[in-house]
Chain A
Amino acid sequence: MKLHTAEVLHREAFGDHVLLRYRSDAPGGPPEPGQFVSVRPGGSTALDPFLSRPFFVHDSEGTTTSLLFEVRGRGTALLAEASELSVSGPLGRGFTVGGDGPALLLGGGVWVAPLKLLSRSLSRLGVEHEVFLEAPASAPAAYGSWLSGNYPGAELVPTGGAPDASRQVLDRAGDLSRYSAVYVSGGREMLVAAREAAAGRVPAQLAVRERMACASGACYGCAVPVWSGGVRGHARACVEGPVFRGEALAW
């Protein structure tokens, strides 16, 4: 666990959704899309709350990094107010980017976070791609316009929070065999539905979350059920993930 001090530069709130931009002089190259950072309030050695909180890198440019997160409990509430952070990362294995295109990007809820960097990487490589995002029913209107601005060309699918919301987003994307690759970062239902729809037709990469303690491969806390060599096992989301190939997951 290597920690770096970061200074919060900018903060914007859309209801419970917070966009936080910080600057850190941590060494290392730019993050891969789908990688995450593990964050705690900075400026103190107090261990309260005890664990750091994992978040996908939403955007990154030079020494600045942005996170997009939803305030859920005490940890995220404190981070939403913090002016200094203690950050570890970028961590884990992100999306494998490449191929001929067209690629499909599916996002839902706050989990759309890593798709911004992914879309930019694909564009840089000249890989044509389509983006469909489930527009959260509960979020304020400002968030919707912010999403449109930040995911240019993305189609926002208003699902009204219906139980089959993931299905509706998938249906909008149409026949998956049209795509050369599918990238998914959404709620559990969306991951499950997209993985099933893509199986045997198109390679899918899914951004999977699990509860973490160390975020560095030490504790084996972030177990994700996977197939390895034909047998069921557990991979660590923080080092072998958080992005997994659809067929590798033993869900």
Chain B
Amino acid sequence: MVADLRVELCGIPLRTPLIPAAGTLSRETLGEAADAYGAVLPKTVTPGPRRGNPPPRVAEVASGMVNSIGLQNPGLEGFLRELGGYEVGLPVFVSVAGDTVEEFSGLCARLASEPRVSAVELNLSCPNVEHGGLTFCAGPESVERVVAACRAALPGTPLFAKLASEGVRENSLAAEGTGADALTLVNTIPALTVDPHRREVFLKGGLSGPAIKPVALRSVYEVARLVEVPVIGCGGIASGTDVAEFMLAGAAAVQVGSSSFVREPGDILSELSGYLQGAGLSAAALTGSLRDRERVV
């Protein structure tokens, strides 16, 4: 028997529950990995082109990495010209970010008329220029403003709000209450690496990889019990059993980021398939079927 890997997300059928996490998919090598994925999710797009941060941009840490890329991207129009490169017969989800609420809703309005886009994900971990550079997911009021504006601009397309682990309960309720169709949990965690020899900051950025898995898992677990909309799990997923753990905790689908730099997503999917066969379950049946123990606090 072959395991049934299909899941559904906001009415979109996905061949597998694996989605590339924003900013971790290579257009150059998409063809090699496409078989493993249920959807394609390219790097966050901003209204205009961004050059990104000067190097260094990445640092390895125990069980993961820190990055500070600075959203280098060709801007929305440049991205739409390249969109064909992401079409491999899978639904395309587009991650967007702006400096202001208006920029976010403008991006959504433009994508509303783009039939090749199956869903839009709001990267709310970027700084809100109108609010002293705090991120858009720094608090529920800010989340409500941006999600409500984007919902109005994008009435007919599924809208995902991607949040950080900090304040995830309040922010998830705020996003759901203002019209998000799904929640992606979580983005990277603020982190710092230091060069002790030069006595300098090496990199101020976001932590990702297996190091953040327990934090991400806890966010998914708590929020899935709190909201009605589906949760997409993300953070440190590096194996088939990691995928299963996130789905058991309540995720309807998952995103694989940093680990796709060092493992083939197809291997992660095979492991998931093996797990499901052993358990005699379909992928969809995993979601939220985690049994609680009294000792879990």
A-side residues, CB < 8 A to B, are: 1-3, 40, 45, 47-52, 210-225, 232-234, 239
Contacts and interface: CB of A to CB of B under 8 A. Distances in A.
Interface of chain B, helix or strand or loop or mixed? Answer: loop
Contacts of A239: 26, 28
A225 B52 CA distance: 10
Most B C-beta atoms less than 10 A away, residue of A52, A216, A225: A216
B23 A50 contact: no
Contact of B55 (A1, A47, A218, A223): A223
Given A1-B263, A52-B261, A219-B24, 10 more contacts: A1-B260, A47-B238, A47-B262, A48-B63, A211-B55, A211-B56, A217-B28, A220-B23, A223-B52, A225-B54
B264 A1 contact: yes
B60 A216 contact: no
A234 B269 CA distance: 33
Nearest to B26: A218
A52 B258 CA distance: 12
A51 B261 contact: yes
A212 B56 CA distance: 9
A33 B60 CA distance: 28
Contacts of A49: 60
A50 B55 contact: no
A45 B274 CA distance: 16
Interface string B19-30: 000011111110
A211 B210 CA distance: 20
Contacts, number: 115
A233 B262 contact: no
A220 B69 CA distance: 7
Contact of B210 (A47, A217, A219): A47
A50 B64 contact: yes
A50 B65 contact: yes
B69 A50 contact: no
Contact of A50 (B33, B63, B72, B267): B63
B63 A45 contact: no
A102 to B, nearest CB: 34
A2 B25 CA distance: 13
A210 B59 CA distance: 11
Contact of A216 (B28, B53, B57, B58): B28
A217 B27 contact: yes
Contacts of A217: 26-29
B282 to A, nearest CB: 25
B54 A223 contact: yes
B236 to A, nearest CB: 10
B262 A52 contact: yes
A218 B24 contact: yes
A232 B51 contact: yes
Contacts of A2: 29, 32, 264
Given A47-B262, A51-B262, A234-B72, A221 B67 contact: yes
A251 to B, nearest CB: 11
Contacts of B26: 214, 216-218, 239
Contacts of B258: 50, 213
A219 B23 contact: yes
Contact of A219 (B27, B51, B67): B67
A249 to B, nearest CB: 12
A48 B61 CA distance: 10
Interface string B257-284: 0111111100100000000000000000
Contacts of B128: none
A40 B60 CA distance: 14
A78 B104 CA distance: 46
A220 B52 contact: yes
Interface string B24-44: 111111001100000000010
Nearest to B64: A50
Contact of A214 (B53, B56, B72, B261): B261
B219 interface: no
B187 interface: no
B239 interface: yes
